[in-house]
Amino acid sequence: MQLWVRRLRRWGPGLGIGLALAALGFAFIRGVQPGAIALFLVGSAIALISWLLGLNWQQRSLRSGATAAGTTALILLLLILLNWGAVRWDRRLDLTEAQLNSLAPESQQVVSKLQQPVTLWFFSAQPDPGLQKLVQLYQRQSPQLRFERVDLQQRPDLAERLGVKDEGDLILEQGDRRQFLVNQAVTPLSEARLTTAIANLQQTAATPLYWLQGHGEPAPEALAAANQALSDRGYTVRPLNLASQLATGNADIPNDAAVVAIAAPERPLLAAEVASLQRYLDRGGRLLVLAPPTTETGLEPLLQPWGLNLDRRSVIDSSSGAIAGFGPEAPLVDRYGNHPITQAFGNGLSFFPKAGAILIEEKPEIQVDPLLISNDRSWAEADLGDTVGFDPARDLRGPLALAAAASRKTGEQEARIVVFGSSQFLQDGLFNQQLNGDVFLNSVGWLSDRQADALSIRPRQSRDRRLLLTGWRATVVTWLSLVIIPLAGFSGAAWLTWQRRKAI
């Protein structure tokens, strides 16, 4: 045994240093690998043990120094292990009350199901810390989400392929499917919007949506932006002419219809068509109605039992309509109802030209909620003449509901209706402005029961915990914290010092 100790004292330092240097050279040439790390640790251990065996442990100073060195080494080793463990098993604990630094459970569920890579393209020359923080929360749940920031000027080919037009555009892409999200410079990306977009890209089965035709409704080309957005989200857009089906004796809504949409008919629907829509709702159907005040829909007998009444007066908002470049007939909305369709909008803006109000009544067994609410300075104008002004005898003072959603249980199914008092916000020039498109797409998503998890995500806000003090209470706190308590501390310290000196 002593022979081995003597040999280790003699040859160990050189052998250990040689192994450590060999490991460093290997790592320099081939990169840091587990084998190189193990070789370096073994060589360092041999050199250290050999050096320790060669010391004279009879000296007291040597023992004290070795004890200090060993303690320091153990502390360093513990810190290294803790750091390695933190990198190896990355875990975060969100201690905020509202979980501001974590994804909602609905988002975690959607992202954890990703089977194929999804790329979020951000076309900007400058990074966005807020966006990067949001994306990192998603990437902690799934490595399938990738984030790429691209300079629009340096990659015009990529911008053309993805249909990017402006600096700050965000595009979500998976395979051959892509979806425009927002312009980060105009409307920062929210968790609800990103989760909804990811869920949309995962849809494999098409969801049919039928646009009712035959009453002077807008041609499909006039709603190209809206229809394209629906197609990007997995919807199949089809026309439906119930009047022509009456001749064949079949005026029923197709069984595969997830949503039936009616946009600004110029002529009232026939009684047989309204009856067909009623049968569709009775079996749990979903109906979307866009009815400006200038149109005659003939849907009043269908909507009134649901507590939804179309007001024939035009909503005027002279205080804010001009902000978006429109006249007073385009109410600007920044107030939204407490509903899955609109709960993630915050105080974002949307505007609805030539809109009418939706008058809501409470009905038994029917849940009715306003979606879009005009401001307090708006009103429903009965006469759009040369001079427009509020007339208490004929007009209705705001705030007014410009859209509403209703639901009712029908057996095991739930029938749903969304009614808008405007249709022009769907036109190509307005659809992508502010939140106009989101209002429509979220409405279709809620009606079709798509994105149920994503639509239920509510924006989280930290609770206001500011302490509001009256004048005299603030004075008391100031004197206590800045004068009385510090003076008491100094006085106590001086008294103790004097007592000790007196005792000596």
Query: What CATH class is the domain 205-455?
Result: alpha beta
* ∠ CA 380-443-211, rounded to 5°: 90
Smallest CA-to-CA distance from 253 within 227, 285, 226, 222 is with 285
Kind and range of the H or E element at 417? strand 413-420
Cα distances from 332 to residues 321, 348, 357, 427, in angstroms, run 6, 10, 13, 16
Residue 51 pLDDT: 64
Q: What is the pLDDT of residue 402?
A: 94
| pLDDT at residue 456, rounded to an integer | 52
Per-residue pLDDT of the chain (504 residues; tens, 9 = 90+): 556 656 666 666 677 777 777 777 777 677 667 777 777 777 777 776 666 666 555 556 655 666 666 667 667 767 777 776 666 666 677 667 666 777 877 788 888 888 889 999 999 988 899 999 999 989 888 889 999 999 988 888 898 888 888 889 999 998 888 888 888 888 788 887 888 888 878 877 778 999 999 888 887 777 888 888 888 777 889 999 888 887 777 778 988 899 999 999 999 999 999 999 999 999 999 999 999 988 888 999 999 999 999 998 888 887 765 555 667 888 888 899 999 888 878 788 888 888 999 999 999 889 999 999 998 888 888 877 666 777 777 888 879 999 999 999 887 889 999 999 999 888 877 888 888 888 998 899 899 887 655 555 555 665 666 777 778 888 888 888 888 999 999 999 999 888 888 876
Give the sheet arrangement for strand 207-212, strand by strand. 235-240, 207-212, 259-263, 286-290, 413-420, 401-410, 366-373, 335-336
Q: Are 377 and 363 in contact (CB under 8 A)?
A: no
**What superfamily does domain 99-202 belong to in CATH?**
Glutaredoxin (3.40.30.10)
Start-end ranges of CATH 3.40.30.10 in the chain?
A: 99-202
Which pair of structure tokens corresponds to residue 40?
Answer: 């370096």
Q: CB–CB of 175/191 below 8 Å?
A: no
CA–CA separation, 42 and 50 (whole Å) = 12
pLDDT of residue 458: 56
Domain with CATH 3.40.50.880 in the chain: 205-455
